[in-house]
Amino acid sequence: SLELRALAGELIGDQPDAWDRAGAIPEDLVRKLAEAGALCAEVPARYGGLGLSSAESGEFTAYVGSRCSSLRSVMTSQGMAAWTIQRLGDRGQRTEFLPRLTSGAVAAVGFSETGAGSDLSTMDTEIRSDGDSVVVDGHKVWVTAADYADLLVVFGRYEGGAAAAVVPATTPGVHVERVPEPMGCRAAGHANIRLDGVRLPAANLLGGAGQSTAMLVTTALAYGRISVAWGCVGILRACLAEVRGHAVSREQFGKPLGEHQLVARHVAELLVAEQSATRACEHASRRWDERSPEMVLATVLAKYVSSRQAADGAASAVQVLASAGARDSHPVARAYRDAKLMEIIEGSNEICQLILSEHVLAGAK
Ligand code: FAD
């Protein structure tokens, strides 16, 4: 994973601010990382992947997240697509699609719709079998990385339950339209997708079709959650580095900012935020690597802790940098905008709290 970090570091360079302003990451760069298997580094070697453990992949995700949350978001989508295919696909589908995701193809995952946000049981998108084809009709919103994607993993209603289909973005009837002016992760290629009578080979319908929506989306979201959680650790590390540099170099009232106790408290709280988010993620990754039944809960906990800490921590970082950080593309300002969105996606904070409280209350029955 050190080699991966060096590759990503070299490709990213000092460009994240410019990507944020432009609202796009150069496609050839996304492609290079995809070709190296770096966007979904946990795919096993037998499918052409790097086969990193969750803990190793998490540290890599945090590194990319510390540099650029947009690129990290693209990684989260690719990893979630790969995980969904690995878990729901049959052997043929794994052999067909996973090597593509580790050799250059980019993928995105669509659950959300205009009327189905937190409550995905109200999805309107319809997936139906028609002879040896599958037909998809619907509309997805806010799909991260869709603007870069070659493959779209689309969830919808199917025969009384739900299903996911792998939709090549060039299939007739697929229309991808960028979400205008996202508040953060501005270069992550968020797009709305319309699917009008999209006809695919039956082999593109992932196994597990017809199971409950909750079962299917929980599988996909688990990967998204742990990836976002590690990405938030990266946001906190970037904020800590900016605050450290500023608090020792900027003087007011005759001494460095960091020697004023109210500023020192911000510094201490940022360290606590970074450390507690890291520990929650490490714990979840260990459960993940053991394939422990506790992994789902540990992942929700990590996502909740990390995204809250990142949103609060980034706000403190802007406070300490003050006017020095109060430009849209300054790393702390970017962190502030990006981190806030992490409290919304892959199960908002409120939805995570409901899952955590359900766990506690179920134990009392
Ligand atoms: P709503 O569901 O309308 O919720 C509004 C508010 O009400 C929230 O605060 C929510 O927590 C709260 N709320 C809702 N229900 C309850 C409840 N039962 N109890 C308490 N509070 C509740 N979607 C995809 O499919 N793929 C993607 O790749 C993707 N990427 C995204 C990237 C970004 C940057 C953003 C902002 C969104 C993305 N989304 C994506 C959509 C995202 O999953 C949804 O925004 C999210 O699920 C919340 O849905 P909503 O925005 O419709 O809010």
Instruction: Tell me the pLDDT tens digit for each residue of 261-297.
Output: 999 999 999 999 999 999 999 999 999 999 999 999 9
Q: CATH second-level architecture of 107-204?
A: Beta Barrel (2.40)
Which one-letter amino acid corresponds to residue 142? W
Assess whether pLDDT exceeds 80 at residue 315: yes
Best CA proximity match to 228, nearest among 141, 338, 318, 112? 338
Q: What does the alpha-carbon distance between residue 316 and residue 303 come to, in Å, rounded to a whole number?
A: 20
- CATH fold of 213-363: Butyryl-CoA Dehydrogenase, subunit A; domain 3 (1.20.140)
- Residue 256: exposed, middle, or buried by beta-carbon count in 10 A (0-12, 13-18, 19+)? middle
Whether 185 is in the pocket of ligand 1, judged by its Cβ within 6 Å, is yes
- Is 109 touching ligand 1 by the criterion CB < 6 Å? yes
Instruction: Return the ligand 1 atom nearest residue 77 CA.
Output: 28
Q: pLDDT tens across 183-217, in order?
A: 999 999 999 999 999 999 999 999 877 889 999 99
CA distance 131 to 109: 25
- Output DSSP code: residue 54: H
Residue nearest to atom 52 of ligand 1 (CA): 117
Joined together, the tokens standing for residue 95 give: 């052999």
Question: Where in the chain is CATH 1.10.540.10?
Answer: 2-101
Is 123 close to ligand 1, i.e. is its CB under 6 Å away? no
- Ligand 1 centroid to residue 36 C-alpha, Å: 32
Atom of ligand 1 lying closest to residue 140 CA: 25
Query: How big is the chain, counted in residues?
Result: 365
Give ranges for CATH 1.20.140.10 in the chain. 213-363
Mean pLDDT of all residues belonging to the chain: 97
Kindly give the distance from the C-alpha atom of residue 112 to the centroid of ligand 1, in angstroms, as a whole number.
8
Q: Is 340 in the pocket of ligand 1 (CB under 6 A)?
A: no
Q: What is the position in ligand 1's atom list of the atom closest to the CA of 80?
A: 28
Question: How many Å lie between the centroid of ligand 1 and the Cα of residue 103?
Answer: 31
pLDDT of residue 363: 80
Return the SS3 of 206. Answer: coil
CATH for 2-101? 1.10.540.10
77 touches ligand 1 (CB under 6 Å): yes
> 70 CB under 6 A from ligand 1?
no
Cα-Cα-Cα-Cα torsion 197, 202, 205, 209, nearest 10 degrees, comes to 100
* Domain span(s) for CATH 2.40.110.10 in the chain: 107-204
* 1: pLDDT strictly greater than 80: no
Q: What is the mean pLDDT of residues 139-160?
A: 97
